[in-house]
Structure 1
Amino acid sequence: MAEAVTSPDLHAIGFLKERVDPLRYSGHTEEPMEVGSILRSMMPSGVRVLDVGCGTGSVTAIANRAKGNDVVGVEPDEDRAGIVRSRGIAVRVGELDGDMQRELGLFDVVMSSDVLEHVAASQTFLALLKASLRPGGMLLLSVPNVAHWSVRAMILSGRFDYEDVGIMDATHLRWFTAKSLRALLDGCGFDVVEMRQTAGSTLPIYQRGLLGKIPGRVRRPAVRAGTRLLPLMFGVQHVVKAVARN
C-alpha cells in the first residue's frame, strides 16, 4: 500500500516482527550528558535554525529553549510532524530536497539529530545541509556510535541483532565511528570544531539482564562516569559542531 509520505521507519520492515512505533523517540531528557542538552550547549542564540529530520521536536525543543531562535523543522512522518506543531514549532512535512531548500532560504544553523544514519546517500544529504547554511554557518549533528561496547560485545559473540530503538535501530542504513564521521564531514566541506559523546543511560542494554537489576541511582552515574573516562567505547552518540568551509 502506497503512503503519501515515505517514512524512514519503513526501512525496518523485514528485520522486526512488528512495525516500529513512529513516536518512540518523543521523550528526550534534559540530563547534561544527553543529546538535547549537549546540542543546547553548542547552539547560539538569536539565530535562524533549520532542524532536518526533527522527529517529534523533542530534541530541538531542548536545544533551542530560551535561545530566542527562529526554528523551522523538516520531518517526513506526518504523525511526528503533528507533534512538532503542537510544540509551537514550524514544520514542513517531507524530505529536504533542492526545491524545499531554495524555498526555505538560508539559515545560521542547520541541526540534524540522529538522521544521517537513516540516509543512504550521505554526501548528497550533507551537500543539501551545507547549501542551507549562510556563509560560515554552523552544522550541529548527532549520530549513534557503532563502536559502543554493547555493539562490540555483540559482534564478538557472532551476532548483529536489530532492535526497535537505540544504536541497533532497524531503520539505520549507515554506521559511524568518531573517525569515519570526521572523515565524512571533512570530505563534504565541514570543519569539525567540537565532538562530544552522550551517555545514553536509557539505552535498552542497560534495562535488561544483569545490568537491568542494578538500581538506576547506581547505574546511571556509573554509565556517565564510563562515558567521561572512555567516550569512544561508552558513548552512545557522537554530537558534533562543525562549520562549513566556503
Structure 2
Amino acid sequence: MKTSIIILTYNKLDYTIQCIESIRLYTSPGTYEIIIVDNNSTDGTRDWLEQQDDVISILNENNMGFPRGCNQGIDIASGTNILLLNNDVIVTENWLDNMLNCLYSSNKVGAVSCVTNSCTYLQEIPVDYTDLESMQAFASQYNSKSNPSAWEERLKLIGFCMLIKKSVVDQIGLLDEVFSPGNYEDDDYSTRIRMAGYKLLLCRDTFIHHYGSTSFKENRRYFDLLNRNKKKFIDKWGFNPNKAFYFNPDMVELIDMPIDAEFKLLEVNCGCGGTLLKIKEKFMNSKLYGIEINENAANLSAMVAKRVQADLHFNLSCPEQSFDYIIISDSLQRFYDPNQIVSTMKRYLTPKGKLLMSVPNVMHHSVIKGLLDGEWTYGEYGAMDIDNLRFFTLKEIYKMLLENGYSNLSIIGQNNGTFANPEWVHNLSGVIDKELIPQLDAFQYLVSASNNELGTVIDEIRVASELSIDCLTKLDDFHFDEIFNNIQLVVGADEEALQLLNKIGSWYFEKGDYKRVLPFFQKGLEINSTDTDTLYNVSYFLMFIGETEIATNYIRQLHEVDQNAFNDLLMVLADFKKDAQNV
C-alpha cells in the first residue's frame, strides 16, 4: 500500500527542505511517493526540486492556489492513500504508520489527521521543546505506539496534514476550487466526506511539528480572504462553519456521571453536533438528542444524535421530564427571550436533572474598555458576537436561574488567555465595587444548575403551621446560601424573610440537627439586628450548646430591646438549668 504525499510550495524553500528531509528520514522507503506542486516560486525552490530524484514535481507558471494545486497532485497520484501536507511541517517517527493504522481501523473511516504544536480547532497540544532535536525526542515518545483509545471522531480536520483513502476521494471528487487561493477548503472537504457517510478521526497518538501558516500570515489581505471564503462556504452549505462546527469540551466535564452511565441529554442549538460527539466519545451509553433550526447543520448533527423538533416558543416534540441534562452552549445570548428558554427547558428536565450552559460575560475587560474608549466592535465570539441579542453579567445569570426555580448553582468564570491591565483595573476600582473586579477577567461563565424544586419547598414551609420533617429533609441537600437566596425570591420582604429564617432554624433545632440551626439565626440578625424573636432564639440556642459567653452578649442585646422577652428567656433558661441538673 502506497501513500501519495502531496505538498504545495510557494517560496519558503528552507521549510520545504526540512519537510522533505524529515519525510525521507521518518517514513519507510517504498511506502510513499512525494508529489510537489509549486505555484511559481521565485526563491530557488524550482531549481532545488529539479535536482530531487525522488520527488515528482509540477511546476506551475502561475500561482494556482491551494485547492487547485492539491487537485493537480491528486490527478497524478498513484497511491491508495492521499496525504495533503503543508510544506511548513516537519514529520516525526511513526507518524505515517500510526495514521494509517487509524485510517484502516474501519471501513467507516474516510480521513484522519494528527495533533501538532500550532493549529486551530483544538488540534494543538502543549509542548515544551525548544529546538528541532528536542522536538523529535518529544515526538518519538509521543508517537511510540499506535493507540486506538486516543482516536477522536471530529466534525472536521484541519488540512495541514490530512490523510484520505483514495477510494473516498474517487467517490466525493476533488477539492472545491471555489475556495482558491485557500482557507475553508478543508471545512468543505470534511463536510463532504461526512455527508458521504464516512467518519473523520483525529489521531491523538501522533504528533508532527507545524510552523504554522507561513505564507498566509504575511498576506495583508489574509483576514479579508478568510471572510470571503467563509461566505462562500455559507453560500454552499447554508451555515456558518465557525459556529456550526464549534464544540465545547468544557461542557463534557460538567456532566457528573460515571463513564458507563445511561442517561439522556439534549443540546439546544447543537450546530453540526460537535459537543454531542465529544459527549458520545466519553459516555458511550448516553442517549443524545439535539435541537438545531438550521436544516443543513441539522442533517450533519443527525449523524450524531436524534433530532428534537421545537416550535417558536420552544415547546419540544417529546414528553416533559425527558432529559437528565440539557445543554445550552454559547447560544443563550442569541435568543430573543432567554428567560423563557431557561424556564421552558426546566419542564423537560427530570426532577434531578441539570441545565448546563456557557454564557459570555459582558463585563469582560475587553468589552468594558471598548465602551470606555467609545468603541463597540462586533465579532463572532463572546459577548460581542454580532448575532447576540442579549447580554449577561454574573449577577444576571444568578438572578435568571433562581427566579426560574433552579438550585445547586455552580457558575465558574473562564479566562480566554487575556487579563485586564493592572493599571487600568486600579483606575477602574474607584468606580466599581471591588468585589466585581475579578469578573473583568471572566470571558465566559460555565454554568451548572439543578432542577430541584427548592423554591417550591420553601413556599411549602412558609405556609406550614407545624414541623414538617419531610420539608426539612428536602432542604438538607442544599447549601444555606442557596436556601437564603430562594427565601428572598419567594417572600421578597425582609420582615417575612426574617420570620421564615427563624421558623426554619427553630425547626432544625427541634429536629436535633444542630449544625444547621445557627446560620438561619445569624442571617436573621443581618437583616435586623434588633429583632426580638431572633435575639431570643439565638441566645437560647447558644446557651443550649454551651456557648455561654457568646450567648451572654445576645442576651444583653435582648434586654435592651425587649424587657418582657428578656424576662421570659431568663425563666426558660432557669427551667433548662434545673432540667440539666436533674439529668
TM-score normalised to structure 1 length: 0.70
Is residue 310–residue 317 contact of structure 2 (8 Å, CA) maintained in 1?
Answer: no
Partner amino acid for 2:439?
L
Q: Post-superposition shift, 1:122?
A: 2.2
Cα 1:141–1:164 change in 2 (3 A) is closer
Q: Deviations over 1:191-237 (max 9, x none)?
A: 14311233335x9xxxxxxxxxxxxxxxxxxxxxxxxxx86222221
Q: Deviations over 1:111-165 (max 9, x none)?
A: 1111210112222211210010111211111111111111011001012222233
Match of 1:171 in 2: 387
What pairs with 1:74-89 in structure 2 (closer than 5 Å)? Answer: 74-86=291-303, 88-89=304-305
Q: Deviations over 1:158-191 (max 9, x none)?
A: 1222223332111111101111101111111111
Would you say 1:187 and 2:394 are equivalent positions? no
Aligned partners of 1:76, 1:154: CA distance in 2, in Å?
33
Would you say 1:42 and 2:254 are equivalent positions? yes
Is residue 193–residue 240 contact of structure 1 (8 Å, CA) maintained in 2?
Answer: yes
Q: Post-superposition shift, 1:62?
A: 2.4
* 3-state secondary structure, aligned to 1:128: helix
Mean Cα displacement is larger for which, 56-65 or 45-54?
Answer: 56-65
Cα 1:71–1:244 change in 2 (3 A) is same
Higher-Rg member (1/2): 2
Match of 1:92 in 2: 308
Partner amino acid for 1:193?
L
Q: Structure 2: give runs of 5+ residues left out of the alignment.
A: 1-229, 419-436, 454-583
Match of 1:130 in 2: 346
Match of 1:236 in 2: 443
Partner amino acid for 2:241?
L
Q: Post-superposition shift, 1:26?
A: 4.2
Aligned partners of 2:291, 2:276: CA distance in 1, in Å?
11
What pairs with 1:20-169 in structure 2 (closer than 5 Å)? Answer: 22-28=240-246, 36-43=248-255, 44=257, 45-67=261-283, 68-86=285-303, 88-92=304-308, 94=310, 97=313, 99-103=315-319, 106-169=322-385
Q: Post-superposition shift, 1:98?
A: 5.8
Quick one: higher RCO (CA 8 Å, sep 6+), 1 or 2?
A: 1
Aligned partners of 2:243, 2:334: CA distance in 1, in Å?
14
Is residue 74–residue 96 contact of structure 1 (8 Å, CA) maintained in 2?
Answer: no
Partner amino acid for 1:92?
V
Number of equivalenced pairs: 198
Is residue 413–residue 446 contact of structure 2 (8 Å, CA) maintained in 1?
Answer: yes
Aligned partners of 1:181, 1:105: CA distance in 2, in Å?
23
Larger relative helix fraction: 2
Is residue 74–residue 95 contact of structure 1 (8 Å, CA) maintained in 2?
Answer: no
Cα 1:136–1:104 change in 2 (3 A) is closer
Q: Post-superposition shift, 1:27?
A: 4.7
Is residue 198–residue 238 contact of structure 1 (8 Å, CA) maintained in 2?
Answer: yes
* 3-state secondary structure, aligned to 1:184: helix
Percent sequence identity over aligned pairs = 24
Is residue 189–residue 244 contact of structure 1 (8 Å, CA) maintained in 2?
Answer: yes
Q: Post-superposition shift, 1:85?
A: 2.3
Aligned partners of 2:320, 2:404: CA distance in 1, in Å?
22
TM-score normalised to structure 2 length: 0.31
* 3-state secondary structure, aligned to 1:100: coil
Is residue 55–residue 81 contact of structure 1 (8 Å, CA) maintained in 2?
Answer: yes
Cα 1:161–1:95 change in 2 (3 A) is farther
Match of 1:196 in 2: 412
Q: Deviations over 1:42-86 (max 9, x none)?
A: 113421101111122212322453212111000111122122124
Mean Cα displacement is larger for which, 230-239 or 38-47?
Answer: 230-239
* 3-state secondary structure, aligned to 2:371: helix
Partner amino acid for 1:237?
Q
